[in-house]
């Protein structure tokens, strides 16, 4: 399409599909186009939650996570459809396939967004042309809209893609950061949630500009290394490369241990699995992942390796759930041979922010509540130490 040129300045695109689930449903059923519609965790239940909604619905004040009942009060004619995870996965794969026809430097971030490094296939000179071509191909071939941010790094590219939706293409240069980003409330910066905002407010930081100028010692004392990262990004600094292998590396998380003696007691083996489940859970949490395939590894005293796995409906990330599946697999398949090594791996992982896509329609709300509780417990334990809070009877 364009002549390949080598640029000395990195040029990164962030492609973000617009209202992805709703757009996929509209592409499959043209009758849903141009009308307020939403994908709901349980369309028949007024207490159900909206997973996403079309721009026609958003224009009426309807938003993701709103209850079905509330959305129906605002717009009685709102069309609701249940989520179809497999349909969205197929559409996502098709989008990434199109992107890889331009360059191999494509890093999927989630089901509906990706970073693309176009430094060596046109750079800044042809960035808008390349982005426009990508956007139009995805629209014409898949009937799906997207927005694209163009910048010298990942953080600014992701910020830029949010600036104009739907079907926007936005360039955000580092020199524009003081004028465009610094006046904004700090909560509007990617990577800053409500908890982080509160801690920043406590030290007098209310805008992105405040964060950019804060003393390094103070921000590190408040938020640790993440504080320094956020300060850099508030100044438009982000050195992370586009890594096509990153998504593959996130597909499984595991832990194993060689036992000090060849173990023959079931209870002792189960205790090892309990410890391994905690380690795997912490790694999943650290990486913001959950997975629905649990595999155990057993190595016997004569060095025979066995693996057994199970696929569960809802992705796991909590240690108790991981342990339960691993322990059941072990009890079903262990033949009593002395054990030398045990391991647990959780695979087929997805980012935690996609977790609701995999949840069955009937238990969506229950899991959504659990996720909020788990997030609160994690924050408390991070501040006061492990086991500082426990679930009541």
The verdict on whether residue 238 carries a ligand-binding annotation is no
Strand order in the sheet with 169-171: 106-110, 113-117, 12-17, 146-151, 169-171
CA 259 distance to own-chain centroid? 35
pLDDT digits (tens, 9 = 90+) for 379-392: 555 555 555 555 54
Contacts of 64 (CB under 8 A, 6+ apart): 50, 51, 52, 53
Burial of 148 (0-12, 13-18, 19+ CB in 10 A): buried
Burial of 373 (0-12, 13-18, 19+ CB in 10 A): exposed
Position 288 scores a pLDDT of 80
Homologous superfamily in CATH for domain 1-172: Reverse transcriptase/Diguanylate cyclase domain (3.30.70.270)
Each domain of the chain, given as residue ranges in start order, spans 1-172, 177-234, 250-358
DSSP state string for 299-336: EETT--EEEEEEEEEEEE-SHHHHHHHHHHHHHHH--S
The verdict on whether residue 112 carries a ligand-binding annotation is yes
Position 385 scores a pLDDT of 57
Strand order in the sheet with 79-81: 50-53, 37-40, 79-81
Percent of the chain with pLDDT over 70: 85
Domains 177-234 and 250-358 share a fold: no
Let me know: does 20 contact 52? Beta carbons within 8 Å. Answer: yes
Using only C-alpha atoms, what is the Rg of the chain?
24
Let me know: does 300 contact 272? Beta carbons within 8 Å. Answer: no
Homologous superfamily in CATH for domain 250-358: DNA polymerase, Y-family, little finger domain (3.30.1490.100)
Q: Is 325 a catalytic residue?
A: no
Position 181 scores a pLDDT of 97
Give the residues across from 277 on adjacent strands.
none
Q: Which class is 177-234 in CATH? A: mainly alpha
Position 75 scores a pLDDT of 96
**Polymer length in residues for the chain:** 393
Position 1 scores a pLDDT of 47
| pTM summary value | 0.68
- Number of CB atoms found within 10 A of residue 57's CB: 25
Candidates 231, 236, 202; CA nearest to 216 is 231
Position 239 scores a pLDDT of 94
The active-site residue out of 56, 107, 113, 285 is: 113
Cα(372)–Cα(66) distance, rounded to whole angstroms?
15
Position 364 scores a pLDDT of 46
Task: Please identify every stretch of the chain with a pLDDT value under 70, giving residue numbers as ranges.
Answer: 1-8, 42-47, 247-250, 353-393
pLDDT digits (tens, 9 = 90+) for 110-138: 889 999 999 999 888 899 999 999 999 99
- Distance (Å) of CA 235 to CA 154, 158, 215, 227, 230: 13, 15, 13, 13, 9
Candidates 105, 18, 96; CA nearest to 64 is 18
Candidates 126, 122, 154, 133; CA nearest to 4 is 122
């Amino acid at each position: 399409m364009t002549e390949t040129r080598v640029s000395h300045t990195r040029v990164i695109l962030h492609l973000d599909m617009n209202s992805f689930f709703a757009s996929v449903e509209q592409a499959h059923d043209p009758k849903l186009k141009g009308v307020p519609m939403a994908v709901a965790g349980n369309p028949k239940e007024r207490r159900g939650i909206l997973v996403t909604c079309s721009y026609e619905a958003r224009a009426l004040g309807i938003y993701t996570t709103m209850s079905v009942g509330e959305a129906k009060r605002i717009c009685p004619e709102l069309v609701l459809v249940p989520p179809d995870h497999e349909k969205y996965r197929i559409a996502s794969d098709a989008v990434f396939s199109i992107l890889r026809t331009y360059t191999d430097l494509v890093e999927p971030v989630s089901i509906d967004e990706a970073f693309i490094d176009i430094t060596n296939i046109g750079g800044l000179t042809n960035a808008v042309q390349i982005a426009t071509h990508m956007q139009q191909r995805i629209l014409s071939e898949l009937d799906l809209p997207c927005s694209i941010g163009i910048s010298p790094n990942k953080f600014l590219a992701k910020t830029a893609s949010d600036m104009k939706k739907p079907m926007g293409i936005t360039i955000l240069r580092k020199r524009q950061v003081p004028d465009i980003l610094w006046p904004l409330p700090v909560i509007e910066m990617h990577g800053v949630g409500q908890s982080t905002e509160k801690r920043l407010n406590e030290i007098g930081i209310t805008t992105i500009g405040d964060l950019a100028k804060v003393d390094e010692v103070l921000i590190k004392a408040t938020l640790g290394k993440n504080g320094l990262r956020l300060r850099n990004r508030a100044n438009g600094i982000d050195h992370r490369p586009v890594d096509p292998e990153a998504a593959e590396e996130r597909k499984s998380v595991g832990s194993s241990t060689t036992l000090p003696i060849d173990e023959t007691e079931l209870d002792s083996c189960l205790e090892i699995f309990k410890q391994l489940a905690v380690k795997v859970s912490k790694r999943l949490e650290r990486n913001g992942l959950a997975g629905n395939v649990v595999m155990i590894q057993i190595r016997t005293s004569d060095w025979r390796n066995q693996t057994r796995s199970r696929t569960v409906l809802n992705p796991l990330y909590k240690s108790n759930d991981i342990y339960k599946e691993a322990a059941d697999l072990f009890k079903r398949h262990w033949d009593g041979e002395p054990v030398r090594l045990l391991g647990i791996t959780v695979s087929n992982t997805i980012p935690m922010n996609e977790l609701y896509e995999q949840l069955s329609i009937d238990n969506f709300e229950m899991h959504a509540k659990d996720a909020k509780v788990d997030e609160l417990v994690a924050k408390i334990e991070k501040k006061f130490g492990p086991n500082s809070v426990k679930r009541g009877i």
